[in-house]
Structure 1
Amino acid sequence: MEGLLDFFNLLDGFLGSAAWFPYILLGVGAFFTIYLKFPQIRFFKHAWLVVTGKFDKADEPGDTTHFRALTTALSGTVGTGNISGVAFAIFLGGPAALFWMWATAFLGMTTKFVEVTLSHKYRVKTEDGSMAGGPMYYMDRRLNMKWLAVAFAIATVISSFGTGNLPQSNGIATSIESTFGFAPVVVGGVLSVLLGLVILGGIKRIAAVTSRIVPLMALIYIVGAFAVIFANIENVGPAFASVVSDAFTGSAAAGGFLGATLAYAFNRGVNRGLFSNEAGQGSAPIAHAAAKTKEPVSEGMVSILEPFIDTIIICTITGLVILSSGVWKEKHQNTFDRSDMTFFAGQYDESNSEDINKLFLHLNNVEGEKVENFTGQINVVNGTATSGGFTLINSRSIAEDVTYSVGSSEDPFTGTLKIEDGALVKESIIVEGKSLVHSANLTAIAFTRGYFGEFGKYIVSIGLLLFAFSTAIAWSYYGDRAMTYLLGPRSVMPYRVIYCAGFFWAAVSDTTLVWALSAVAIVVMTLPNLFGIMMLRKEMKESVNEYWEKQKK
């Protein structure tokens, strides 16, 4: 399993985490933004008119309304990326990362417009009478690249588990257990049954449920967020200023945060931006293909709103909560995960600028700068290390007040610990202390810095539950449309059953391997989709011009 994990991480290093990937993603968005003369600005008002039903006709082909297609697609994108993803981006790249998430969203509005329009244009009616669409259909029916369509569909099925199912279930179970104390097996059992009741009913039931969940979850989350923002209103202006100013310089060290280069913040911001709004990935067009309309461009208009709502509004609100509260640069008491923890050779001091600069360059992968990992033994007495020669880095920060225990923090360890190449060998040892935190934990702490106090963390848990559950609903539909393309409508029901079973299994399992596989699958979805829409750029422009001619008439 470790070998397989290393293999997927290696692939991801050449794909999604590679330096070239953000430029491809943003480059396609920038090209279409200029080529179509900034449709995300020119068509924004019209998009709202379409989604509110101004042009709806009940007798047009499709399975659901523009609004429900939008909420289904939004339920797939508004999820853990908005709670965990923003926090993770800021943790890695500082305030600058939020700017690059904005840039990804702004250009992504055009990318979504293009991919949804073209996918909707080549949708088909299946044997069971439902609509099926997505990039695999225009790849097959228009580009005559069956092999590419099959590769995309397979990647979509993998991503439905790796993005929409297993990590979401695991995240919900972990959050509910830490906040409310319910066992993961109970949470997984209840939610997998609820998931089955929703998705076994197909797109009409999925759209009906998501059209209610999405507005509710957004309202709850926004109320909790503004309780923090208004409580720290004096910090909002400086937070905005740091986002913009750091975007072109990188973020300097501040508090426990050791800093981030411009290149690192750019890469992490774009990467998290894609994870948040999925613009260019090709997933949302699958949901939009179900909309009732004869005009593919009109559904493309609706999709312009997705990155705006998902990233420019919701992610910005999360970012302001984290930045204005100041928690992103503070060290907090936590239990250290093995994946976040490294023992470095030598002793580093945060008050020493030379030490900080060396760690800054190393953590930002600056070529030529290398901090050696520690190999040796550590003597521990009553939970505290008594030997030196090393520095423990946890979550990209120098750990403080570190304790070592066995089984629980109430059973301190005494003895010798072996460290090999920066990693603690003994698996049973629990390491705790103060360090930076990231992902949902960082957002939860930030939500306690407002008018609701400690109750704020419950808003994050409830928000995470609704966000992640709705994401699982939407991705089940993406997966079953991909299965329909690959093996026909009869394969959908077995897929849905396995999908629900996977949701239960993930609540009590380690999904690290699945996350790694998903990271690769997302890029395998994204690159063919970007290639395809570039191939059809002239057809896209012609479709837009024809649409407006009809509107004038």
Structure 2
Amino acid sequence: LFAMLASFGIGCGTQINAIAEVLETNLPISLPRIAIGIIFGIITAIIIIGGIESIAVVCEKLVPLMALFYVVGCIVILCANYDFLLPALKAIFVLAFKPGAVTGGLVGGGIRLALQYGVARGLFSNESGMGSAPLVASAAQTRNPVRQALVSATGTFWTTVVVCLMTGLVLVSSMMKNPAVNAENMANGGQMTTAAFAQIPYIGPLILMVSIITFAYSTILGWSYYGERAAEYLLGKKAILPYKVLFIAVVVCAPVLALDLVWTIADVLNAFMAIPNLIAVLLLSGVIAAETKHYLKHLDEKDESEIPVVDR
């Protein structure tokens, strides 16, 4: 139930809102947000009605493209800011652990807000603990579930440790090099990132725009599948079409909603999904450990068993 509901928040509302914001900021012409919603709603309808095969075909092309565009853009900026990289790393660690920062975080409601935003945004970056990734990993054709689980686990490293670290260094080094790229002068993080990428002449904003759109849109398609699986499990195959129609409606309407409202809804639904899943993971930890040890112990053995094929 919570997975199905969360698909409308983290998987759809926030993502299409991010797409609308980046298009509104970087397009030379003014495009109404509702028009953006309608355009992406039509594209989404065409893709998700085709099922998991259609979603997979689109995502396997979008994901390498978005990674290439964004990572190359970050590398170019970091090379341009090379003399500020060590000071940026030092600033991050000093400000995270110096007494003033720790004390400030522990006063009054500061620790609550620090935990709330830290956990919420960390969860948003990789979905660890929500139970969403297994919904799509279970559709993979593999001889052993442990093998697929190990492959899926690398996603946390790439999204958070690599991509988020690069983004952080880009922002901090850019703020040190160019005082105009400053949180106090920007309405939100998106504008800060746009200003940072503007350091790449001519194509910087284009790289960021393409990256954000592909990042966000591949997430929308993936979560449409998560929600569809959850709806079918709860209500049967008859629920799939109504769910898809509702999901498409959210794609159309979410761009015109207030960003704070969209984020709040997403954070609440994420928590509702994570809590029961984390309890289940703890209860199943013995099974997970035993299966993993067995798989690693027999890693060198040749497995010629048939790969299970599930009709999706």
TM-score of the two chains, using structure 2 as the length reference: 0.85
1:292 matched residue in structure 2: 141
1:170 to 5, 10, 17: 17
1:179 matched residue in structure 2: 26
- How far apart, in 1, do the equivalents of 2:168 and 2:155 lie? 18
2:245 matched residue in structure 1: 497
1:471 matched residue in structure 2: 219
List alignment gaps of at least 5 residues for structure 1.
1-153, 253-258, 334-394, 398-434
- Helix, strand or coil for the counterpart of 2:257? coil
Amino acid at match of 1:170: N
Relative to its length, the structure with more strand (as a share) is 1
How far does residue 201 in structure 1 lie from its aligned partner after superposition? 1.1
1:245 to 70, 82, 94: 94
2:174 to 313, 317, 325: 325
2:190 matched residue in structure 1: 440
1:11-63 C-alpha deviation (Å, 9 max, x unpaired): xxxxxxxxxxxxxxxxxxxxxxxxxxxxxxxxxxxxxxxxxxxxxxxxxxxxx
1:51-96 C-alpha deviation (Å, 9 max, x unpaired): xxxxxxxxxxxxxxxxxxxxxxxxxxxxxxxxxxxxxxxxxxxxxx
Alignment of 1:219 with 2:68, yes or no, is yes
Amino acid at match of 2:227: G
Contact 2:181/2:192 (8 A) holds in 1? no
How far does residue 167 in structure 1 lie from its aligned partner after superposition? 2.1
1:344-403 C-alpha deviation (Å, 9 max, x unpaired): xxxxxxxxxxxxxxxxxxxxxxxxxxxxxxxxxxxxxxxxxxxxxxxxxxx7x5xxxxxx
Contact 1:156/1:525 (8 A) holds in 2? yes
- How far apart, in 1, do the equivalents of 2:178 and 2:188 lie? 10
Contact 1:251/1:260 (8 A) holds in 2? yes
Alignment of 1:310 with 2:159, yes or no, is yes
How far does residue 193 in structure 1 lie from its aligned partner after superposition? 1.2
How far does residue 266 in structure 1 lie from its aligned partner after superposition? 6.0
List alignment gaps of at least 5 residues for structure 2.
302-312
Alignment of structure 1 residues 59-458 onto 2, 5 Å:
154-180=1-27, 181=29, 182-249=31-98, 261=105, 263=111, 268-326=117-175, 330=179, 435-449=185-199, 452-453=200-201, 455-458=203-206
Amino acid at match of 1:296: P
- Helix, strand or coil for the counterpart of 1:292? coil
Amino acid at match of 2:215: F
How far does residue 507 in structure 1 lie from its aligned partner after superposition? 2.6
- How far apart, in 2, do the equivalents of 1:251 and 1:168 lie? 35
Contact 2:14/2:263 (8 A) holds in 1? yes
Relative to its length, the structure with more helix (as a share) is 2
- How far apart, in 2, do the equivalents of 1:446 and 1:250 lie? 29
How far does residue 528 in structure 1 lie from its aligned partner after superposition? 0.9
How far does residue 439 in structure 1 lie from its aligned partner after superposition? 1.7
Contact 2:174/2:181 (8 A) holds in 1? no
Amino acid at match of 2:240: V
TM-score of the two chains, using structure 1 as the length reference: 0.50
CA RMSD of aligned residues (A): 2.5
Which deviates the most, 259-268 or 231-240? 259-268
- How far apart, in 1, do the equivalents of 2:99 and 2:229 lie? 42
Number of residue-to-residue matches in the alignment: 293
Amino acid at match of 2:267: A
- How far apart, in 2, do the equivalents of 1:508 and 1:270 lie? 27
How far does residue 308 in structure 1 lie from its aligned partner after superposition? 0.9
1:124-182 C-alpha deviation (Å, 9 max, x unpaired): xxxxxxxxxxxxxxxxxxxxxxxxxxxxxx21111111111122222212321221122
Amino acid at match of 2:12: N
Amino acid at match of 2:213: L
- How far apart, in 2, do the equivalents of 1:186 and 1:527 lie? 37
- How far apart, in 1, do the equivalents of 2:256 and 2:268 lie? 24
- Helix, strand or coil for the counterpart of 2:11? coil
- How far apart, in 2, do the equivalents of 1:233 and 1:161 lie? 40
Per the alignment, do residues 328 and 469 of structure 1 end up closer, same or farther by CA in structure 2, a change over 3 Å counting? farther
Contact 1:249/1:261 (8 A) holds in 2? no
How far does residue 523 in structure 1 lie from its aligned partner after superposition? 0.7
Per the alignment, do residues 548 and 498 of structure 1 end up closer, same or farther by CA in structure 2, a change over 3 Å counting? same
- How far apart, in 1, do the equivalents of 2:63 and 2:278 lie? 28
